[in-house]
Chains A and B, each alone.
Chain A
Amino acid sequence: MEMFKTLIIILLSSVLVDNYVLSRFLGICPFLGVSKKLDQATGMGVAVTVVMLIATAATWPIQYYVLDALGLGYLQNIVFILIIATLVQMIELLLRRFSPALHKGLGVYLPLITTNCAVLGVTINNILDGYTFIESMVSSLGCGLGFLLAMVLFSGLRSRIDESNIPAPFRGLAVTLIAASFISLAFMGFGGIVENIFA
């Protein structure tokens, strides 16, 4: 029961409180780039979630059973980047084969997940926080869902922005960034809620 509680808290806090895009400001590139249309934003969110999960499943054992065992902890960054890049390439291959429409829709942003700092951030933070394997997986699932949530919310907001009459100096990227900062502010309201959810 205690473990179940911990997992719920990890999941909720990584979705809402420590949202990677809106609170930690990681993974902003696809957040701004692919959030124009709801279906593409959802596709990107799901793709990142899958990559985060697989990346965590691959990097956690490598950190503990290879790097730490051999005293090579300092290789963490470069090894994780290598593994994430490989996994993204694999997912691209599989998507191209089994879902050409999604592959086409994501376009250049799919290979860009390779360098998406949110994915690297999740894998490294899982190690830094000292999570067990299961906790790490739940945390990456939460981070992925948080990313998906941010993408979906923001794509909805952007379609409203498209239809409104914006003063000329704010058109384009300016108003998009302002809108992003408002969502980020709104997410700050979650601070402190999750820790006390079972209190």
Chain B
Amino acid sequence: MEILIAFLVMLAIALVAAVLLSVLSHFFAVEENPLKVQIRACLPGINCGACGYKGCDDYAAALAEGGVKPNLCIPGAQQVADQIAEMIGAESQPFEDKIAFVACNGHCEATFRKAKYEGVDTCRAASMLYGGDGACVYGCLGYGDCANACPADAICLIDGIARVNTARCLGCTLCTTTCPKNLISMIPQKTNTVVMCNNKQKGAQARKACKNACIACKKCEKVCPHDAIHVVDNLANIDYSKCTHCEACVKECPTGCLKTAVFPDLPEGIGHKELLG
């Protein structure tokens, strides 16, 4: 008899809980865009962030809302780009491989150290102490946090600054989040015009900190025939959707912070970790 009461009490409590949950889940259901679900299923789901969104869910949501290129998924490559283009009814675009790019050319001869730093030898620790020991607070610190983060051993420290070995770069974006100065960005692989500076100080100050700095003279802005380059916050900025790589700005730049073919021809066999042994 007693076990029957226990059984019935448990049953009653469980029933109330079940009814409550199913009613709530019915009334507070989150409506998801069916297109988003469809696109999400097509994406690889490894949440690498190479597309520039917070993960596959975020990218799928942005695609479903429209106005976003369907060819941004690096691991998915051409196949996924084609499938998504078909789903959202856009024209299939060729898949663009993106690679990491370090926006600094403050090598040992162009800039100098304002202090002697003897702390923990990571960029993150150094940048916490008055912005680091470099004369330019925006520039590469050269302690190699990005090189250590790189799974493909594609980043080398040459003359005190990080350089990406384009042949090895996977486009995983791990280095972009590691850099405390936010120097590293992803650019289309075929790009050959880049701004190799991140200094947002005014011209004279920037020049004092580094010979190769962008001094915001706006010569590039005036000479660009495609309206692709603009000086924002004392720093030249290229819009790659307009840039045709005509190199007009490169010829005009007085400090040489606008460059073509920036990618150093590193021997394919050598990486930072291998150099360290």
Contacts and interface: CB of A to CB of B under 8 A. Distances in A.
Nearest to B12: A66
Contacts of A70: 5, 9
B21 A86 contact: yes
Contact of B10 (A75, A90, A163): A75
A24 to B, nearest CB: 27
Given A86-B20, A164-B120, A97 B28 contact: yes
A72 interface: yes
B241 interface: no
Contacts of A196: none
B276 interface: no
Contact of A93 (B25, B120, B124): B25
A24 B17 CA distance: 30
Interface stretch (A1-9, A77-85, A110-118, A147-155): A77-85
B261 interface: no
Contacts of B21: 86, 89-90, 93
B125 interface: yes
Nearest to A98: B28
Which bracket fits the contact residues of B? 10 to 19
The listed residue with most A CB atoms (<10 A of its CB), out of B2, B9, B120, is B9
B156 to A, nearest CB: 24
Nearest to B5: A70
Contacts of A82: 10, 13-14, 17
A83 B17 CA distance: 7
Contact of B30 (A62, A97, A164): A97
A72 B28 contact: no
A93 to B, nearest CB: 5
Contacts of A96: 28, 30
B115 interface: no
Nearest to A62: B13
Given A83-B17, A163-B125, A163-B128, A90 B24 contact: yes
Interface string B1-43: 0100110011001100100110011001110000000000000
Interface of B: 2, 5-6, 9-10, 13-14, 17, 20-21, 24-25, 28-30, 120, 124-125, 128
Interface of A: 62, 66-67, 70-72, 75, 78-79, 82-83, 86, 89-90, 93-94, 96-97, 100, 163-165
30 contacts: A66-B9, A66-B13, A67-B9, A70-B9, A71-B2, A72-B5, A72-B6, A75-B6, A75-B9, A75-B10, A79-B10, A79-B13, A82-B10, A82-B17, A86-B17, A90-B20, A90-B24, A93-B25, A93-B28, A94-B24, A94-B28, A96-B28, A96-B30, A97-B28, A97-B30, A100-B30, A163-B124, A163-B125, A165-B120, A165-B125
**Complex A-B, nearest 5 residue pairs according to Cβ-Cβ distance, in ascending order:** A86-B17, A97-B28, A165-B120, A93-B28, A93-B24
Given A79-B13, A82-B14, A165-B120, 13 more contacts: A70-B9, A72-B5, A72-B6, A75-B9, A79-B9, A82-B10, A82-B13, A86-B20, A90-B24, A93-B24, A94-B24, A97-B29, A97-B30
